[in-house]
Chain A
Amino acid sequence: MFKTTLDAMQRTGGLVRTNLLWIVFALTIFAGSAYAVEVTPVASTMPWWGWPLALFITCFFLGIVAVPSGVGGGVLFVPIVGGFFPFHLDFVRGAGLLVALASALAAGPSLLRGGLANLRLALPMAVLASASSIAGAMLGLAIPASVVQIALGCTILGIVVLMSLAKKSEFPEVAQPDSLSQALAIHGVFHDASQRRDINWQVHRTPMGLGLFVGIGFLAGMFGMGAGWANVPVLNLLMGAPLKVSAGTSSFILTLVDSSAAWIYLNKGAVLAIIAVPSVIGMMLGANIGAKLLNVLKASVVRKMVISLLLFAGIRALLKGLGIWM
């Protein structure tokens, strides 16, 4: 289905078809609520510092694999920590947003300076995604955690399929920019060091991209995940931005989207420093090591490992929400 959706995005650009993902997601929430089992995680007997330390170590390793696999740490954090740590999902999602936000903030300045993140491309998308992330965060904190677990499990399994099937296009061909992107002057030039040449780029299908970013922001807010896994395919495959510009701009968009969603979690009291801070520090230290190991580790092998990890975490979240595997 995801492959079909992506193909449809590339070929015809039918808005209804590309929104199929969000329709399935909405149905999952409604169907999930019928089977959800609300169980509070068991209180831990470990000393208070044991779990934060375990969290720091886990995030350190997640950070190492996140960079070479090309996924953000946030998408790994929520299902894995939500599935295997004793923290309530409310606090895990609050911390997940901060992990994604801190990583995006750390990378943002150099991406902007290097021309790999483009402000004119990012801002219109970020405005819509930020607004919908607020709605997602509010809904996520209002419905039972077990329903969120089921929806999270389905979404993670969807990401696994997307990551397995999605193609990438280094330099997509955009014959004619659409009228909206022309009006907003969304285009640019960047220097590709690997090819030693300047790349002029422009985008098309901007209205559909904007529509999809509404859905992406909603998911980011609801699950506390960064949304690079969805941003990059939309910017690259749908709108035709070069892959490197898509990845850089996606990271920059997260600085705005995750900020607004993080405020909802903060104001609701769903951010605990004891969970959020070790996660942020561990993930950032790990990502630093991961970036240095880029030339040593085989990216395709790490990517397969991460897909397997996500598959396992997605099944775990689904079964936990259904009360089958507590």
Chain B
Amino acid sequence: MANLIVSEEQLRYATLLKWGANLGLAALVVMFFAYVMGIMTPHVPVDQLPQLWNLPVHEYLEKTGSPKGWDWLALLARGDYASLAGIAWLSTCSVFCLLSIIPIYLKRKDNVFVLICIVALAVQVLAASGLLGGGHH
């Protein structure tokens, strides 16, 4: 799959995506092992999970006193929520890739793609914000 013509923005996007994905996956694995090996105490004890993971999410949150929205950040020292940090990073790394290619489109005066990138960013930020139903307790 040798390449012929790959644009500058595509190469920049690929480089950042590679770093972002590798970092996220490494964090995911390390934190998860710290969690299941008991190195980091979880918010919900692992031996209670088989009685809880069959419940709908709202019941699970209610019974375990688990947070919604961005409140999980306050529990980052807990093993189960530390593992979520890797997941959150994987879901975020595309934002940095999109941000990095906007200057290239601006320089080229490719205004339509500047706009498309900005809308794509807005969608990602809106989803991550917790404004759409995540909220607080």
Contact = CB atoms under 8 A, between A and B. Distances in A.
Nearest to A138: B133
B103 interface: no
Interface residues of B, number: 74
B26 to A, nearest CB: 12
Interface of B: 1-7, 9-11, 13-15, 17-18, 20-21, 24-25, 28-29, 31-32, 35-36, 46-51, 53-57, 60-61, 66-70, 72, 79-81, 83-84, 86-88, 90-94, 101, 112-113, 116-117, 119-120, 123-124, 126-128, 130, 132-135
A5 to B, nearest CB: 28
A222 to B, nearest CB: 14
| Nearest 4 interchain pairs by C-beta | A267-B134, A273-B83, A112-B14, A109-B18
12 contacts: A41-B54, A98-B87, A127-B119, A130-B120, A145-B56, A188-B5, A259-B92, A262-B91, A269-B68, A271-B87, A277-B32, A277-B86
A127 B120 contact: yes
Nearest to A129: B123
A44 B56 contact: no
Interface stretch (A28-36, A85-93, A293-301): A85-93
Grouping DSSP codes into helix (H, G, I), strand (E, B) and loop, the B interface class, with mixed when no group exceeds half, is helix
B87 A274 contact: no
B120 A277 contact: no
Given A87-B53, A193-B2, A255-B94, A273 B25 contact: no
Interface stretch (A17-25, A116-124, A235-243): A116-124
A268 B133 contact: yes
Interface stretch (A63-71, A99-107, A150-158, A306-314): A99-107
Contact of A131 (B31, B47, B123): B123
Grouping DSSP codes into helix (H, G, I), strand (E, B) and loop, the A interface class, with mixed when no group exceeds half, is helix
Contacts of A145: 56
Interface of A: 40-49, 51-52, 86-88, 90-91, 98, 101-102, 105-106, 108-110, 112-116, 118-120, 123-124, 126-127, 130-131, 134, 138, 141, 145, 183-184, 188-191, 193, 198, 244, 255-256, 259-264, 266-278, 280-281, 284
